[in-house]
Structures are given as structure tokens and as C-alpha cells.
Amino acid sequence: MFDGMLKIAGACDACEVSFESADVGDGASVFVMFFVSIFAIAIFMLAEVAFRLPIWGHALVQLIFIPIACIMLLRPVKGILFALQFSHDASEARLDDD
């Protein structure tokens, strides 16, 4: 399904059905950004209350947490969005749609 880290392949490897109709665009990154930011704020507040970290400590924690969480979540979330869009045959509205 994927052609590289995040690029959706043009067709299925097994049955060669075309994936051209489904395009998730930036959808996955928006969901991941909102989801990760909730936890980033929670970690920030917990670290501040529990350890009274200096600002560079918070920056260090967040600079490690945010990229790792985003990289781990982007591919599965994009896969889920793509699968939902493909299975429901969703696409942009066109004038010749019924």
C-alpha cells in the first residue's frame, strides 16, 4: 500500500487495483498533530509539577517526544484514513456526480 515511508503507492502490490481515486492529502498529519499536541501539553504540565524542569529541560523533553510520536503515528493513521477513504469510495465532488 505504501511506496516508501508515507507515499501511497499507485496500485496494490497483490491485485493491482488502482489507488489513484483515494487521496488523503494532509488529513493524517492534522489528526496526528492534534493528538500528539494534547499529550505534549500533558507531559509539559506533569514535568513542570513533578520535577520543576528548567525551560531547556522542557525543550529537550518535547524535542524528543514530539518528533518520535509524530513519526510513529503518521504511517498507521495515514493507512487508516486511506483504507477508510478507499473502502467508502470517497473522493472530491465533481460536477458529473449523481
Contacts 24+ apart (CB under 8 A), 30-34: 31/77, 31/81, 32/70, 32/73, 32/74, 32/77, 33/70
Please, what is the minimum distance in Å from the beta carbon of residue 53 to Zn ion?
Answer: 49
Note whether 87 binds Zn ion by CB under 5 A: no
**Beta carbon nearer to Zn ion, 1 or 53:** 1
When CB distances to Zn ion are compared, the closest residue is: 12
DSSP 54: -
Please, what is the minimum distance in Å from the beta carbon of residue 9 to Zn ion?
Answer: 10
What percentage of the chain's residues is helix, strand, coil (to nearest 5)?
60, 5, 35
By CB under 5 A, the residues from 5 to 34 that bind Zn ion are: 12, 14-15
Please, what is the minimum distance in Å from the beta carbon of residue 7 to Zn ion?
Answer: 17
Grid cell of 25 as nine digits: 492529502
Summarize as ranges the residues that interact with Zn ion (CB under 5 A).
12, 14-15
